[in-house]
Amino acid sequence: MRSSLSNTLRSPLWIAAAAAAVLLLIFSGRIFGVFSRGLRAAAGVLHAPATALGNWWDASPTPDEADEKMLSAVADIRRLSAENAELRAALGYREKHPDALVAARVISESDDASLAALRIDRGSEDGLAAGQAVIIGDGVLVGRLRSVSRYSAVVLLITDSRSRLAVSAGDLTETIGVLEGDRGLSVGVSLIPQSVPLTVGDVIVTSGLEPGIRRGFAVGSVEKIEKSVQASFQSAVIKPFSLGRHPSVVQVVVPAPEMRAATE
């Protein structure tokens, strides 16, 4: 009997009748109401994730924007790394030398194309005065203070044409000549006596002849020597140790009171 009933239910006639009944119920609203409520519930569950995904898609950067952000992040990392290296070198210098140093942050470079200079955020309120040496890293001279106001100062770089600085070479104790800038591009020393034993690679340092600037600040190295058999002097092209460096932090060397009194 069960087999007979099963066969009857499986017949095409019964299948068609069942399908018709289901369709009738759907269109009559009995099942459609349940089905639509289920769809609405499912839509409610999916609405929040779908909205979040849509917002993310709209806010996500384009490939060009992503490249720009990545390049900006890399630039920031490099800047911070360079600044960190400068600060470590400055700390090392402080530990090895008794100089009174005032750390300053570089505000900007000169907006005058004819002037190779930096503006820093320290001034007379911090003990700064015109003529003082400005160094970076482990005692590398970048320039000297040209002008000082209450809360800021201008550093004239050694590459500027107005810069003049008495220098010596290597282990020599005497001044060999005056270091002069050349249009902000390079530096050189002229009128060096032929008797001075100068070779390529020699380190050039301050000789201590100027008031307020002691001997021994590293300036650069001899890149080229120009001699003439007839001339009594020789000259040298100097490659500054600060060349290509754009410091964000510098240190101003403030002479001790007894040194300032001796030079006034």
Average pLDDT over residues 218-241: 89
What integer pLDDT is reported at residue 201 of this predicted model? 94
Residue 16 has pLDDT above 60, yes or no: no
What integer pLDDT is reported at residue 102 of this predicted model? 93
Q: Which of 235, 186, 242 is nearest to 219 (CA)?
A: 242
* φ and ψ of 153, to 5 deg: -155, 160
What integer pLDDT is reported at residue 30 of this predicted model? 43
137 band by pLDDT with thresholds 50, 70 and 90: confident
Residues 187, 164 contacting (CB under 8 angstroms): no
What integer pLDDT is reported at residue 183 of this predicted model? 74
What integer pLDDT is reported at residue 32 of this predicted model? 42
Structure tokens at 140: 């590398």
Percent of the chain with pLDDT over 90: 38
Residues 198, 242 contacting (CB under 8 angstroms): no
* φ and ψ of 93, to 5 deg: -65, -45
Amino acid at 76: D
261 band by pLDDT with thresholds 50, 70 and 90: very low
What integer pLDDT is reported at residue 262 of this predicted model? 39
pLDDT, one tens digit per residue, over 177-190 is 999 998 767 899 98
What integer pLDDT is reported at residue 85 of this predicted model? 63
Reported pTM:
0.65
Average pLDDT over residues 154-158: 95
145 band by pLDDT with thresholds 50, 70 and 90: very high
What integer pLDDT is reported at residue 206 of this predicted model? 95
What integer pLDDT is reported at residue 65 of this predicted model? 66
Residues 179, 204 contacting (CB under 8 angstroms): yes
Residues 222, 199 contacting (CB under 8 angstroms): yes
> What domains appear along the chain, each with residue ranges and CATH number?
2-59 (no CATH), 99-264 (2.40.10.340)
Least confident of 11-20, 60-69, 197-206: 11-20
pLDDT, one tens digit per residue, over 42-91 is 445 445 555 655 565 556 667 666 667 677 766 666 656 666 666 665 66
